[in-house]
Chains A and B, each alone.
Chain A
């Protein structure tokens, strides 16, 4: 059905408002990071930069600890992602494709863990990590990140597994293939988008995690971006150019990742959502 003029106007008006509400702040940060300092703090801000400089990025990469934070964040996020996928995949398969006693109760308990307040286990976890000597170690962050990403990741696999016809597995069973072979050889390629979604979710969770990283990591050289960066905010008199360049540099990896597999991630998020 065709829209009336008024309907079109309100639809595109709404689209514009959303685009501006989300995009404009990012536009300002992006353009701010290449403005000269005096343009950044100008009384009447400019929408389009009038000056161009890479001095903030130079300072960020050469005079600050940002490259170290970036490296630490990458390492923690990649390991967190790998372990989340390794644990979530078989668990999701069992929950959504197999039958076993206590399945529903276990599944619900795991779901509850998704909304579990991190700060509640922060204190005892600190004690436990201290006992085994994992304070100030990226291993501790990986463990925590995997634990908090896991419940949602399992849940997200549901809609992707549902797209695979059961006949495919049944045919393989009749052919006498062992279950692990079915999982690895036949199912994996079919649910690749699901694996990508779980990976991106785990990566983003780790990339943005602040609370545990602020407590479990003590020395500056082991910090990840969120905590290290928060330290830069308060360090000197606020150097907006440096912060905006840092913000831009922290956005780029997740945006790049999202550009590659974001579509699947959104599908995974929405398809399983209402069940």
Chain B
């Protein structure tokens, strides 16, 4: 590879990783995978475990899809991607059972439902099937960590207000009356709505600042 191309590739690889964290965040920007986002974020630890499990599946499925991209005919690509994703979900299901049965019980059916998380199939189709293994892994890692971050944002707020604790550690004195609605499904919608509001506000402000800078220059 010519030496002059390296900086371009490095910048692009960094971008593959970074974009999922903020600019193309799967939850706050792409609004993907809403089922686990709303269902399992009633506590910080559930959100973290679900985020990491999804990241694991996303990175490995992106890697395998990218590795096999020249071998998979277009006509059967979706079936093959789902087979690959389902395999890694089964793997992660067994691993979580081996690590902690309590955690497996808390996440319930949502581990199996990672198979139908549109974020994973979306990245396999939109990115991994068209790019190299290295870039696909970085994309999966960035998107997975962005997804985890978003789940933590929701899980943290909901656990603090709904249970008065964060990661199981009590934050308020005994007199605190938890807002039970926050750990019910409706609390998930409220919290997601507020986070989306914040993200859109920040995005608009940034755009406006960019325009001002452009006009000034």
The judgment on whether A and B are partners is no
